[in-house]
Structure formats: structure tokens, C-alpha cells
Amino acid sequence: MKRLLGLAAFAAALIASPAQAQQITVKIGVMSDMSSLYSDIGGPGSVAAAKLAIADFTKNNPNVKVELISADHQNKADVGSNIVNQWYDVEKVDLVIDVPNSGVAFAVSQIAANKNKVFIVSGAAASDLTGSKCNANTVHWTYDTWMLANGTGTALVKTGGDTWFFLTADYAFGHALERDTAAAVEKANGKIVGKVRHPLNTSDFSSFLLQAQASKAKVIGLANAGGDTINSIKQGAEFGIVKGGQKFAGLLVFASDVNALGLQTAQGLTLTETWYWDANDANRAWTKRWQGERPGKFPTMVQAGVYAGITHYLKAVVALKSATDGKAVVAQMKALPTDDPLFGKGTIRADGRKVHDAYLFEVKSPAESKYPGDFYKLRATIPADQAFRPLKEGSCPLVSG
């Protein structure tokens, strides 16, 4: 009997061993702004999105084991760099995702390349991440400054907003957004009449808004985001800027910003996004699940990008049966067509730019909104092949020809 039991155990071990050998272990780090001006854009909501992505993927791929950790970069490149070095070297993290702050994102992108890990950008916007500073370990998923500029900027010039003054966050993201929007405005025969730059996370915009008001520009382009955009618009209303005939262009506005501002203040804003929670049934269904951890809030395109980016990353890891070689994983991500419930079908180009449609929205008035979160009306769909900078215009060293 003992001999028979021993043989049975040996046979069971032989049967189980192939499955055990094929198990893939992955560790993912969500690094975001967890406590400051970008925390509603990414932050805990990005962690919630990552959890959903992992749960959905591993449900159908039980041989994949995923560990998730998170951290707050505090919008400081040195803090973000220290965290990521620790993650890659000590914690054995394979993928870092999100990172809303272009200054931090540039630092993380370089570290990922040096250590042959993977970095998926969902929160940061600077188009240089797939331009002159691109590398073979970074994928830029959700949006970028070129897309925002050519969506919102071009549309406003075409509808009469032909003179612009920029109110710009004074760091890499703001500079890139101002640069790309100015180029789009001038290409559409508009004129830049002035600009002023403000520190990140500013509480008092009065001196900057007075300069914008004095410029007499038809459009005040807000080359900032999150809490800075919210404060700019709120304080601008106190100065009577819109009543005086000028128009704010929210060059990067999220559903979370509109929710914070309220429709009474935000109505009429023109903006460009690549994902909206209320656009279709699939987005609404996903939002309901996401709100299980974030009740009363509405997900942003950044958080949707975290879900979609992780989903595609895990597909590439499974195809390779390993997460070890970052460059190989990113190459596989580029080789595989993208397809997920939130962004649908798409591709990742040689420069690391994820390509999908973008949408020009206008914020509804309170009278037009039918239920909580009913923020936008669609003005135009920008096809994927037009939404992002042409591949050969980005100066990415990965692009030949």
C-alpha cells in the first residue's frame, strides 16, 4: 500500500510539474501623486484601476501571478527616482506605470532604460517622451501634449479664438504643452500675444490672471493641470474674465476637474480627451466597478489608461512567458495589436506612442446635464491616425527613415 501511495504521489508530481513550470510571476508598481494636485487624476484611482486590470487578466490566466505595490512621488523627480531605483533593484518590480508629472516621468523613463525594465506612462503628458527622449523601454499610453494642442488649440482658432495668452505651469509638462499648442495655433493662423509661467501647485493666481486679462487675448490657454487648472478657472471667474469676453482653453482638463469645478463654473470649456466614462456601455460598466473603491468619484482617462496599459503588458508577458527582459516585453507590446474593453483596438508605434482616437468635448451647462457625471457633449472625433504627432516628425531615435 505504501509503495502504491508513493507511486501515486510521484505520478501526481509529474502531472503538476509542467503547470508549475509555466507559472509566470510579475510585479507591478503604480507610482503617482497620491496626495497633491494630481491625486484625483491618477493617485488612488490609478491603483483601483490597476487592481481591476490584474483581477480581470488573472481570472482568465490563472498561471499568471501578479503582485501590486504603489507609492507617492510627491511631484519631485528625485523622490520618484529614488522610489523607482529601489523598486527595480531591491523590490524586483518589472513594470512601473502611471506617473502624472512629466519631470518625474523623464527620470523614470531613463532609469527603466538603464535597468532594462518597463515603464508605461499614463499620467504624464510631455510629447518628448515619444520624441527626442524616447527609448525602447517606455510606452506612452493615454495622451500627450501634441494631441491636446492639436485637438483643443486648432478647434478654438477655427471658431474665432485667434489670439492667445498662455498661463503655464513652470516645469517640463507646462513648457511642452505651451510649445505644442503655440505651434498648433500659429499653424491655424492664430497669434500668440503673451505668456506667464507659474509655480507648480499654486494657490493664488491673481497676478497671473491680471496679466492674462490685460493682454486682451480672446483665449487664455491654461497649460497646466489638476488643482492648478481648477484654481485658475475658479479665480478667473472671480475676476470676471469670461464675462469680460475672454475664453479659457483648458488644454488638459479631466472629468475629475469638471466634477470639482461644478458645471456652473466649467460650462462651455472645450477640451480634448481620449476616454470618457459616459461614452458607451462598456465604459459605464467599468466605471461602476471602479467606483466600488472610489464611491462618488468619476474615473479619468489616466486611470483608464492604467487599466488598459497593464492589460496589454500582461498579454505581452504571457506571449514571451517571461517579464525579465524589459526591451523584449516592450517589443512584444508593439508587435501585438492592442485590444481592451476601454480603448478598443489600436497599435503601439515604433516610438512607443499608443495610438487611438481622441475626442473634442464641450462641458455641458447645468441645464443640459441629466445625472451626476453627465459632463460632456461630443463636438468631434479625431481619428487615431490624426490624433497624434506623425511618426517621422517626433525625432525619436528608434524611428528610421
pLDDT at 200: 95
**Same structural domain for residues 229 and 249?**
yes
Number of domains composing the chain: 2
**Same structural domain for residues 171 and 291?**
no
pTM of the model: 0.92
CATH of the domain at 323: 3.40.50.2300
Structural domain that includes position 258: 146-273+358-384
**C-beta atoms surrounding 86 within 10 Å:** 13
Intra-chain end-to-end CA distance of the chain, in Å = 72
In tens, the pLDDT along 95-111 reads 999 999 999 999 999 99
* Phi and psi angles of residue 146, each rounded to the nearest 5 degrees, phi first: -65, -45
398 belongs to a structural domain: no
In tens, the pLDDT along 273-325 reads 999 999 999 999 999 999 999 999 999 999 999 999 999 999 999 999 999 99
pLDDT at 15: 47
CB within 8 Å of 202: residues ≥ 6 apart: 208, 228, 231
| Mean per-residue pLDDT over the chain, rounded | 93
Residue 87 DSSP class: I
pLDDT at 243: 86
Distance CA 210, CA 271 (A): 23
Provide the pLDDT confidence category of residue 22 given band limits of 50, 70 and 90.
Answer: confident
In tens, the pLDDT along 337-382 reads 999 999 999 999 999 999 999 999 999 999 999 999 999 999 999 9
pLDDT at 401: 56
Residue 336 scores a pLDDT above 90: yes
The DSSP bridge pattern shows strands 358-363 and 270-273 to be antiparallel
pLDDT at 289: 98
309 is written with which cell numbers?
496599459
Total residue length of the chain: 401
Residue with grid cell 441629466, as numbered in its chain:
370
**Same structural domain for residues 260 and 286?**
no
**Same structural domain for residues 223 and 362?**
yes
**Same structural domain for residues 187 and 268?**
yes
> Apex CA 117: angle with CA 116 and CA 120, to 5°?
135
Q: Which amino acid appears at position 251 of this protein?
A: L
In tens, the pLDDT along 108-154 reads 999 999 999 999 999 999 999 999 999 999 999 999 999 999 999 99
Q: Which amino acid appears at position 332 of this protein?
A: Q
